[in-house]
């Protein structure tokens, strides 16, 4: 099984080929290709490569499928005994990326 652990927008993701992932909004048009280069770890059929901090000779190709918004999360702030309340909703902007290939140069 071939997989990689990649750093994208401050988070770490376990990436496999043929699957899609929802990442923070990437300002790229639909259908365009992106290249991920911040690979922390690569497992290529039980051959383990660990970066210090990144692996330089590995690239991951992905394709932008769509832009979407996550489910609404409620942010509620209240100060007790002061009669102040603030209820606010938040929906994170996301981009769905299909991982096409993991290349080792």
Q: Which tens digit of pLDDT belongs to each residue from 36-47? A: 999 999 999 889
pLDDT at 91: 98
CB 44 within 8 A of CB 104: yes
Residue 21, pLDDT score: 96
| Of residues 42, 80, 79, the one with CA closest to residue 59 | 42
Give the chain's count of helices (H) and strands (E): 0, 10
3-state secondary structure 62-105: EEEEEEEECCCEEEEEEECCCCEEEEEEECCEEEEEEEEEEEEC
Domain locations in the chain as residue ranges: 2-104
What pLDDT is attached to residue 9? 87
- Which tens digits make up the pLDDT trace of 51-101? 999 999 999 999 999 999 999 999 999 999 999 999 999 999 999 999 999
Which residue in this structure is represented by tokens 């988070």? 11
pLDDT at 49: 92
């Amino acid at each position: 099984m071939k997989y990689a652990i990649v750093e994208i927008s401050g988070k770490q993701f376990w990436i496999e080929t043929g699957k899609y992932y929802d990442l923070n909004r990437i300002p790229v048009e639909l259908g365009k290709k992106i290249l991920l280069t911040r690979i922390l770890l690569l497992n290529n059929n039980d051959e383990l490569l660990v970066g210090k901090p990144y692996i330089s000779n590995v690239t991951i190709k992905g394709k932008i499928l769509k832009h979407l918004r996550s489910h609404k999360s409620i942010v509620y702030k209240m100060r007790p005994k002061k009669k102040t309340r603030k209820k606010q909703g938040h929906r994170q902007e996301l981009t769905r990326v299909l991982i096409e290939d993991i290349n080792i140069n």
